[in-house]
Amino acid sequence: MSNGIRRLAIEPLTKQAFAEFGDVIEVDNSDYFMINNGSTRRYHKLAKTDVQDQGGEAIISIFQATPLSYPLTISMLERHPLGSQAFVPLLGQPYLIVVAPKGDNPSLQNCRAFYSNGRQGVNYHKGVWHHPVLALIDQDQFLIVDRGGEGHNCDEVFFEADLVSLHLEDIPASNRQEVMLSE
């Protein structure tokens, strides 16, 4: 702990650890069936979009993100009350995820941080608090599946006390890829 800011542990991203917040989108340890005359594995229904509230529709976008400065003090979270939001890395690069449980009064003290190996996407369930995308390389790209349509679908909350911080040196060594990560 430094300057009254709690250091947030960074966990490997697993389906079990992330279940409270959404789905991990990955082929490892996922069921599949063969299609296209046996030439293709279909990893079917790895996550479900939940976007139909107030007439919403599923849309697909690409986000191009730049890394933030680390150590990073987390002082805000957002949620999408009308729909799920999926992030799938397009360039295969690791990235970080910060989430907090659903509810009207989020707390950074209930936050958890995860490290994706770059072959794992996430689908935040409707109403789950999360930090905006945390790319670790410049110009990283993510395929986004989320909600388009009428209605207010982004709540933000800003914190002034009980802040938490992320340090790249806390990425579990067993999940690190060959990426230059320095603070």
pLDDT for 122-167, tens place per residue?
A: 999 999 999 999 999 999 999 999 999 999 999 999 999 999 999 9
pLDDT over 90 (residue 16): yes
What was the pLDDT predicted at 176? Answer: 57
* Residues paired with residue 124 on neighbouring β-strands, in sequence order: 22, 85
Average pLDDT (28-41) is 96
All domains of the chain, ordered by start, with CATH? 6-171 (2.60.120.480)
- 142-157: buried (b, 16+ CB within 10 Å) or exposed (e) per residue? bebbbbebeeebeeeb
> Is residue 178 very low, low, confident or very high in pLDDT (cuts 50, 70, 90)?
very low
> Is residue 179 very low, low, confident or very high in pLDDT (cuts 50, 70, 90)?
very low
Q: Among 98, 165, 159, 166, which Cα is nearest to 129's?
A: 98
Mean pLDDT in the chain? 93
Q: Among 6, 10, 7, which Cα is nearest to 116's?
A: 10
What was the pLDDT predicted at 182? Answer: 37
CA–CA gap between residue 68 and residue 140 (Å, rounded): 12
Q: The pTM is what?
A: 0.91
What element of type H or E holds 17? helix 15-18
Q: Which amino acid is present at 104? A: D
Return the percentage of the chain with pLDDT > 90, whole number: 91
Q: Among 63, 46, 54, 45, which Cα is nearest to 148's?
A: 54
Q: Which amino acid is present at 69? A: S
